[in-house]
Every structure is written in structure tokens, then in C-alpha cells.
Structure 1
Amino acid sequence: MQYLLTSGLLFGLASAAVIKKDGYGHKNFNVQVGPRPYYLVNDMDEGPLKEKMKKCSEGPFKVSDFVFAHRGAPLQFPEHTLESYNAARRQGAGVIECDVAFTKDKQLVCRHAQCDLHTTTNILNRTDLAHKCTAPFTPASNGTPAKALCCTSDITEAEFKSLCGKMDGFNPNATTVKEYMDGTPNFRTDLYSTCGTVMAHNEYIALVDSWGLKFTPELKTPEVKMPFNGYTQQQYAQDLINAYKKAGIHPSRVFPQSFLPDDIFYWIDHEPKFGKQAVYLDERVDTLEGYANATASIPALAKRGVKIMAPAFFALTKVDAKGKIVPSEYAIAVGKAGMEIVGWSFERSGWLNKGGDYYYQYVSSVINNDGDMYTVLDVLAQKVKIRAMFSDWPATVTYYASCFNL
């Protein structure tokens, strides 16, 4: 594994705290943002926003529902692991995500995709499980990249629980399994990727409930043909909600998500108490035609009962004729429809001195340094008026949220 640790990303102590009783009997709970936000503030362009952010340097920092922990805190910790969730909670996330996939025995577990075990766990190193993968490891050869395909539906929940989580990544030029697993992006770190504790959905619910925080489970789009051994998409969607009902979780604490509109409509129709906070993850915006169609569809979605839209946050802003970052047509349409917005996902772009890639594509002409992250977040919070932001490093958003009392 690569052991490059980007400057400013060390997880450390913050300068202020908020008292909050946790689920383990501790008297005090301290929200700690570490040095990352300070690095970003110092890197900001001079101006009123930077001065405001600097004045917030000593906190107090607090837990905020404006902060959705995307897969926990996967900028440094293996995603959807106990360690990643612990870090997200420590950094002040008020809402923590579990991407929900199902196993061979139709149990729900936390994994970003149904078929990502070969890049997010050690399954290829497990001779007792690797042979169960949909497509075992094939080394790179004659210009053909190395590949593998291992799905949660290939193994049972018990087998899944025996895995170790690792940082998501792979080496397409690998000729061995060891080389294949050495693919962590160099703006992340393997420092804490020893053996991440993978989580079943029910375990995640118990954990987050013990902290008194909120939940945002995403029903992952199946990568196997449905029904799966008689397991239908509708039952899958219902099982997700049933888990919260069984645990006695009030619907107001749950933000179920899906990229599939039929899942959102199912919850609205069959579980309206949960459906009113269902989050429609809108990937239609990835193309210009899709963006236009998505924008035009907003009124109809609102009429259907959808209340929260969640596109990649690049779709929520644009640069106007004066070179200012302003709300996009999509964002304006959602606001006019009386709907709310959750953006995704902060801290997934690496360095911004090259324009920020996917998440900053509509404002790349005015982005040239890491501190510009806060410039964009400020527009999203103050002008687009998003309800929340997903982040791979929640502390970054927690610092801003505490500064502006969000």
C-alpha cells in the first residue's frame, strides 16, 4: 500500500469542543476537527469569507445535521467500517451514511456498491472466499487491465463479517493480488487501513442510535438480476425500512436514499412517514442533456411527493458573466418547487489547483487552490441554501457549519 500522507490531513485535536453525552457512558464528548480545516482556511483567497472563517478558529465546534458523513470518513479510513464511522462522529457529523447492499442470504450490510468487495476489502487475499467471487482475480496481460468482481451477494453475512475493510482502490496494471490491492489514491492514506471492521446494517443502526445521531441509508442499485433468488426490489426497499421500525427508530431520524426513482416512490407510497424524508440521488445531471431534462422534471417530482433532491454538487452552481459563482438553473428550479437539496460529496476531488475535476466542473474556470472549497461551500449554503452536504472528511464541513451556526 502507498503510505503517502498528504500534508494537512492528519487526524488530530481541535481547539474547541461541545459537551455531548455519548452512548458509552462518557460524561463529555468533544467534537474535534483536526488541522484539515485550518489548512483550507489559510489557503483561501483574501476577503470577507476568509476573515469570517479565521475568526471561528477556536470554535466551539458542534455536531450538525448540515454534515452528512459520506461512507463515514473515507478520506483516511476504510469506508463503511466501524473506524470510519467513529471518525465521522468525532468530527461532528450529525447524519451518518450506510450504503446498503444485500448478501447471498439476503441480509443487509454496509457497502458502497454491491460488487466492490474486490476493491474495498481483503476478499482476494482470502483463499476460503476468493473462489466464491463472481469473477476471480485475473492479472494484467498484453495491455488488458487486471480485473476481479466480488459481490456481497456472492457470500453470506457471516462470511462478509469476516472480511477486513481497506481503502477503496486497485492497481489495473497488477500481475498479482498483492499488487492489485495497492491502488489507494495518493491524496488519501493507508495509515489506518490495517483491518477495518466491516458493518452489517443492523450493527450500523445500533451504533448510530447509541450516539443519538441520524441515519441516511442508501439502497444500492443491485448489480445482479432482480429478483435475486426470489428477492424482489420492493422487498429489498421494504427490508431497509423494516430494520429501523424494528429498532424503534423514529422516521424523523432517517433519510433513506436511492438513485432509482421507483425506490423513492415506493417509500412515499408504502412508508410515507419515512418517504417524506427520502432523498432522490439524481445522477441524470452527469450529461448536458440529462441536466436539462432533470431540471425540467423538478415540478413533476415535487407533485409526486419527492421532497429532497441530491445531485452531485457541481450541478448546483455555475459561473455568471461577471465571473461569480452563483446558483444553477437546477438549484433554482428545486427551490421554486419548494424542495430541499442535499449535495454530494465534499473531499472527493483531491487537489483543486487543477480545477477540482468532476465535482467542480461547472466552476473550474474560477477554481485554482484548495481553499476555494470553502468559497463553493459558502455559495451552496448561503445562496443555494442546501439542507446538508455529504463529505468524505466531515470535519471540513463541520468547521463551516459551526462557524455559520448551521
Structure 2
Amino acid sequence: MNIRSGELGEWPWSRPGLVVAHRGASGYLPEHTLEAYSMAYGLGADMLEPDLVLTADDVAICMHDVHLERVTDVAQRFPGRARTDGRFYAADFTLDEIRELSATGGDRHRFRGCSVPTFQEFLALVAHLNERTGREVGIVPELKAPDFHRREKRPLEEVYVQALREAGYDEPGALCITQSFEPDALVRVRDAGIRSTMLELLGGEAPDRSQLAEIAKRAEAIGPSKTMIEATKGQLVREAHELRLAVIPYTFKEDEDETRRFFQDHDVDALFSDFPDVALRARS
């Protein structure tokens, strides 16, 4: 099924089976680095996914968690800066301090030399590559832990909206899908005037049809886990499509047969993959 929604125009749902590079080509290189995004672009991904959190000086950086220690050397560089829970929070470090860190990739990779990019640097990279190649590769930013940021008095949505406006991603049909597990964050972004696609990520139990209908009032797509789709034996996808919601499951790895099954048997509109080259082979 190819989703068509009047306000959204033809893109991106005119392209069947979109491959979203999950945290860049994170199966190969440290996640959320310019190197991983560049590799994903070169492998042919349709869209690139940056997760976003704010620093102490309210700069959006590409990072999966509000904590830094899993994928950087922050504990070695700033050993006395953990909170009482033992975690190192991005919100406690300025951008200048973040730039001192090495993005090692955590347990999955042990690289040196990669750094933590800002959202603006990510946007500039995508714009540059699109201009040089003539391709139209989109972005799928995720607002991480909006409620945490609000408790910390960090204006995550406001910073994000301003960045989208400056980069030209605020209009219908823009090559941008905004995603979050917290629906109120999507509503705030939409209320701020961003007209690009909204993707509500799903956790826990699969929503029933009435819950999907409520989601359809505030979003154009859902992001269930692949296990959620399999547990509902395709009913979730069918009901979502009947309500004109695109379905974009997460997260696919190196299993090409599994990825192909979701494209062909489950009729998903896109999917998140750590290995975009594998997903592209499965799609073909």
C-alpha cells in the first residue's frame, strides 16, 4: 500500500518501502556520528534518523539517550560530573564540553576519532550531500524524552522547530518526518506551525482501532516494534492503513529474510534499519 494524504503531497509516500537508516549506518560505525550518517547516505538509504537531546546551553545534539556514558568517553574525561544516579546527562554539559568527547559507539563499536554532532551539522551534511548528488534523501528526527527536557526547563521542541524553519523543513511535503514516543511533543511541534509528517512511536501493547483513530487525529504514521506487528498477525498494519496511517516498524538488523518478509508480507510503508544496505537488498 502506498499512503496518499492530501496535505502531505506525494512525498514521501509515493516511494514504496522507504529505508530509514537507524542512527545512521549504526551497524557499521558509531551511531549518530557524521561518519555513520555519511555511510548510510552512500549506501543508498532513503532517509536518515537523528535522535535529538539538548545540551546545557540548549543546543540540539544527535544522541540516542539523555545520558552520554553509553556511547562516549565522558566518564573518563569528566569523572566527577555524574549525577547522584551515576549517570552523565547531556543537559549538564555545554556544547564546548560535548565537543571534547569521543563518540566511541559503546559496546557495539570501539572507535576513536568520531565526535558528537549537532543537529545543525547533521542538517548541513544532508543538504550538502543532496546538492552534490542530486538525490532527495529525507530526515526522520526523533525528539528524545521531551518530558525530561521540560522538567529540566530545556526547550527541546522550540529549538527543534527553529532548526526546521531555518533549514526549510517546515512546509507540507518537506522531506522530514518528526517522531516521538510522547504524543504531546508531536502536538506541540504541529501547533508551532510545522506541517511535515508526524510519526507516533509505539511501545507496550498494540493499540486497538479506536486508539489508532485517536492517533490519526494528530499524526500521519505509527512506529510499532516489529514484534508488535507480528503479535497482531497483520491486523495492526491493516487497521492503520484503513485509517490512512503509514506504518514504520523498528528496528531491523542483518537478517535480510526478516526484512524482506516485513516489506512483502506485512506491507509496511518504511522501516528502520541499522544496516540500510541489507534493507535495500531486501526491498528489491
Superposition TM-score, scaled by structure 2 size: 0.84
In the alignment, what sits opposite 1:271? 193
In the alignment, what sits opposite 2:42? 90
The Cα shift of 1:332 comes to 2.0
| Equivalent runs, 1:7-406 vs 2, <5 Å | 66-115=18-67, 117-126=68-77, 129-135=78-84, 148-168=86-106, 184=107, 188-190=108-110, 193-212=111-130, 213-222=137-146, 224=148, 226-228=150-152, 230-231=153-154, 235-249=155-169, 251=171, 252-274=174-196, 277-284=197-204, 290-291=205-206, 293-294=207-208, 296-302=210-216, 304-318=217-231, 327-347=233-253, 373-401=255-283, 403=284
Contact 2:23 2:48 in 1 (8 A): yes
User: Judging changes above 3 Å, is the alpha-carbon distance between structure 1 residues 283 and 338 closer, same or farther for their aligned structure 2 residues?
Assistant: same
Contact 2:19 2:270 in 1 (8 A): yes
- The separation in 2 between residues aligned to 1:216 and 1:256, in whole angstroms, is 6
Aligned to 1:256, what secondary structure does the other structure show?
A: strand
Which runs of no fewer than 5 residues in structure 2 stay unpaired?
Answer: 1-14, 131-136
The Cα shift of 1:197 comes to 2.1
User: Judging changes above 3 Å, is the alpha-carbon distance between structure 1 residues 151 and 270 closer, same or farther for their aligned structure 2 residues?
Assistant: same
Letter in 1 for 2:222: M
Contact 2:142 2:180 in 1 (8 A): yes
- The separation in 1 between residues aligned to 2:82 and 2:208, in whole angstroms, is 36
- The separation in 1 between residues aligned to 2:129 and 2:40, in whole angstroms, is 12
User: Judging changes above 3 Å, is the alpha-carbon distance between structure 1 residues 120 and 334 closer, same or farther for their aligned structure 2 residues?
Assistant: same
- The separation in 2 between residues aligned to 1:238 and 1:386, in whole angstroms, is 31
Letter in 2 for 1:202: Q
- The separation in 2 between residues aligned to 1:79 and 1:327, in whole angstroms, is 31
Which runs of no fewer than 5 residues in structure 1 stay unpaired?
Answer: 1-62, 137-147, 169-183, 285-289, 319-325, 348-369
Contact 2:50 2:141 in 1 (8 A): yes
Give aligned-pair identity as a percent: 23
Q: Deviations for 1:301-355, whole angstroms, at most 9, x for unmatched residues?
A: 21x132100011121124xxxxxxx9422222212212101111111xxxxxxxx
Aligned to 1:344, what secondary structure does the other structure show?
A: coil
Larger Cα Rg: Structure 1 or Structure 2? 1
Contact 2:35 2:114 in 1 (8 A): yes
User: Judging changes above 3 Å, is the alpha-carbon distance between structure 1 residues 80 and 135 closer, same or farther for their aligned structure 2 residues?
Assistant: farther
Aligned to 2:20, what secondary structure does the other structure show?
A: strand
